[in-house]
Amino acid sequence: MSTADALHRPAVVGARRVALLLLGAAGVWSFATLDLALADLVPSSGGLEAAQRFFSRALSPALHSEARLASAAAPPVVVTAMAAAWTTLVYAAAAMSLSLVLGIALGFGTSSALWLDEPADSGRGAGSSGALAPLLYAAGRVLIALMRSIHELLWAVLLLVAVGLNELAAVLALAIPHAGILAKVFSELIDEAPRDASRALRDAGASKLQIYCFALLPRALPDLVTYAFYRFECMLRSSAVLGLFGFPTLGLYIRQSFASTNYGEVWTYLYALLALVLAFEAWSGAVRRRLQA
């Protein structure tokens, strides 16, 4: 270990200890401010009974409707669950496609490797574009922070008020915050990629777009793909939750069945969501292994 490393290591360790102490103090202050008590987690007798009835149906999900006034022509719950799972997947796929386009574009526009990684003597950092680069970089970071700081449920509320209950509102409610998250993570992964190839292309006179497409993006691509698959998995769960607003995803049927205390149906829809996530995980794992081969 060099002398510089030995001097730097205690400072890093000290900073981590200070951060942990601050987090611990913030947690204690939060518990005291909110007046939280573990006794509040003790359920009442009615709550215990409801929980017992709910979990007792975990191993016996409903195959047919448990509603008392269900029509004889109503499809089996399993068929409804499969249709709702497909709708959940369609919403998620549409939103993810839009999120990827926006995330890649905004990740490109908010990457410090694009705006701030320019030597002072290169000649391309001078002029109006060079003076505007930090401002454009900061404006892009503020934009993606705004996009991801508002949860998809809040975006759904805003869009429902603006355009009503339609498919475009659902897709945009999912796509906007996830695009902000993808842009942030993509830009950071690109910034952390090795810069040797990008510097060689820059010295050869390549444009910023060429450097991005042929040097930075290929180096970061495996990590980008891995994170995109993870974000798609999150999108599936968010798509299901949109059913709480009336969209015909799995969340809608879970809410309706739970409100009617048809717990067997609830477990059928929960298992459909679990099967959807597991199937996607198996497929995405196969794709990642193929790309890494």
Give the list of residues 6+ apart from residue 4 with CB closer than 8 angstroms, or none: none
Block residue for tokens 């974000």: 231
> In which residue are the tokens 């017992």 written?
52
pTM of the model: 0.79
Sign of the Cα torsion 164, 170, 174, 175 reads: negative
What distance in Å separates the CA atoms of residue 136 and residue 114, rounded to the nearest whole number?
Answer: 11
Task: Tell me the Ramachandran region of residue 151: left when phi exceeds 0, alpha when psi lies from -120 to 50, beta otherwise.
Answer: beta
Query: How many C-beta neighbours within 10 Å does residue 169 have?
Result: 22
What domains can you pick out in the chain, each with its CATH number?
77-292 (1.10.3720.10)
Task: Look at residue 183 in the predicted model and tell me its pLDDT.
Answer: 93
CB atoms within 10 A of CB 288: 14
The pLDDT of residue 116 is 56
**pLDDT tens over the chain, length 293 residues:** 555 455 455 665 677 888 888 998 998 898 888 887 777 777 777 778 888 888 999 998 988 887 765 566 678 889 999 999 999 999 999 999 999 999 988 888 888 776 655 544 444 444 445 567 778 888 888 999 999 999 988 999 999 888 888 889 999 999 999 999 999 999 888 888 777 777 787 778 777 778 777 887 888 888 888 899 999 999 999 999 988 888 899 999 999 999 888 999 999 999 999 999 999 999 888 888 887 76
Q: Is 164 helix (H, G, I), strand (E, B) or coil?
A: coil
- The dihedrals phi and psi of 150, each to the nearest 5 degrees, come to -95, 120
Q: Tell me, what's the pLDDT at 127?
A: 40
The pLDDT value given to residue 269:
95
